Amino acid sequence: MTIEQETPETLLEQAIEVLLGLLPPQWTVERGQSQARDDGLADERFFVEDRGGTGRPILVDARPRTTPAELDKAYNDPLARRMRRDADNPILVVSRYLSPRSREVLEEASINYLDLTGNARIAIDYPGLSVRTEGAQREPTPRRRPERGISGPAAGRIVRALIDFAPPYSVTQLAELADVSAGYSSRTLQALEREALIRRDKRGTVEEVDWPAMLRRRGNAVALFDKGRTTSYIARSGVQRTLKALTNVDDQDYAVTGSFAAARIRAVTAPAGLAVYSPKPDALMAALDLLPAEQGADVQLVRPADNGVFSRFTTSDRIHWVAPSQIVLDCLGGTGRMPQEGEAVLEWMIENEDAWRITSGAFS
């Protein structure tokens, strides 16, 4: 479908075409007459009818381009739910493209949505209709100037600090916690705010962090086993003995992550592959007597892109382990069953926030 102009008018026309393609045969969609509101805007409506003529109006919020933060403010902020005053009719947000995070925000608020690439979630009880489809996962026509994301190494430090330390904190305090410049901290916070992953007050102080969503966002953006930084080996004496052998490694910077680290917190199945961060993988390979292998490997040594992965590591049974937040990030960006293991640890973190999150003394 060709996008000619970014106006609510053309968006509504094209949205009807997309919606008709998703509905059962002989269902119809007609656009209702706009109704003016006190604030000078207009409420748009679609009238959806099934094959028997049963139908109802749906309030339509047309947004040619939008951000998760805008949607969060419109539908999750109790002070700004301008379209919820008409409780008798469901709401449908239509846009040219809705990012995965935008769709997540709308689902949290139980708001229907539809974009022109085919991403849709529509659930109404009269007439009975339930539609869920997936379209593009990346914006087809991105803005010329790309926005700062959260996939870079320095951004990873900020993400870890936001997760590991409970707010409130200022831009400069966060920069100190993450060991980055205040300018970089400010720019990254702006990007996270657009994604509705954080909320700040008028002075810019971080007041709230949606850390589970942030973990998933970062974890899905960064792969653990980057080919340029990962070497694969076979443990000559078995993985369990190799893990124990780490207790005898002297003068080595390392930390265990992945399946074995996840199993210590909440096991899904017995861990098989051992993943270890090390800035000196060759030396660690020799210390553990590992055999290089391209196939059948059961040990992965990962040279970290940034030493931030070691932040707030713990030592147990004389073995160094990455922090819970890093375990989740690495498992979500891992292979095989690792994403499920990451979700299990994330579930534990949600249930036991007091056990791992730093809430006092962070800035002393």
Comparing CA positions, the residue from 255, 272, 246, 265 lying closest to residue 335 is: 272
Region of poorest pLDDT, from 35-44, 95-104, 186-195, 231-240: 35-44
CB 276 within 8 A of CB 254: yes
Average pLDDT in the 252-259 region? 92
Q: How confident is the model at residue 2 (pLDDT cuts 50, 70, 90)?
A: very low
Q: Looking at beta carbons, which pairs linking 210-213 to residues 24 or more positions away fall under 8 Å?
A: 211/162, 211/163, 211/325, 212/346, 212/349, 212/350, 213/101, 213/104
Write 243-247 long-range contacts (CB < 8 A, 24+).
243/274, 243/319, 245/287, 245/288, 245/289, 246/276, 246/288, 246/318, 246/319, 246/320, 247/317, 247/318, 247/319
Contacts of 58 (CB under 8 A, 6+ apart): 45, 46, 47, 48, 89, 90, 91, 92, 112, 124
Strand partners, 234: 291
pLDDT of residue 52: 86
pLDDT tens digits for range 283-303: 999 999 999 998 899 999 999
Instruction: Return the closest-CA partner of residue 309 out of 235, 251, 257, 232.
Output: 257
- pTM (2 decimals)? 0.74
pLDDT in tens, 93-123: 999 999 999 999 999 888 999 999 889 999 9
Q: What is the mean pLDDT of the chain?
A: 87
**Domains assigned to the chain:** 8-133 (3.40.1350), 153-219 (1.10.10.10), 230-356 (3.30.460)
**DSSP of 48-100, one letter per residue?**
EE-TTS-EEEEEEEE-SS--HHHHHHHHT-TT--TTTT-TTS-EEEEES---H
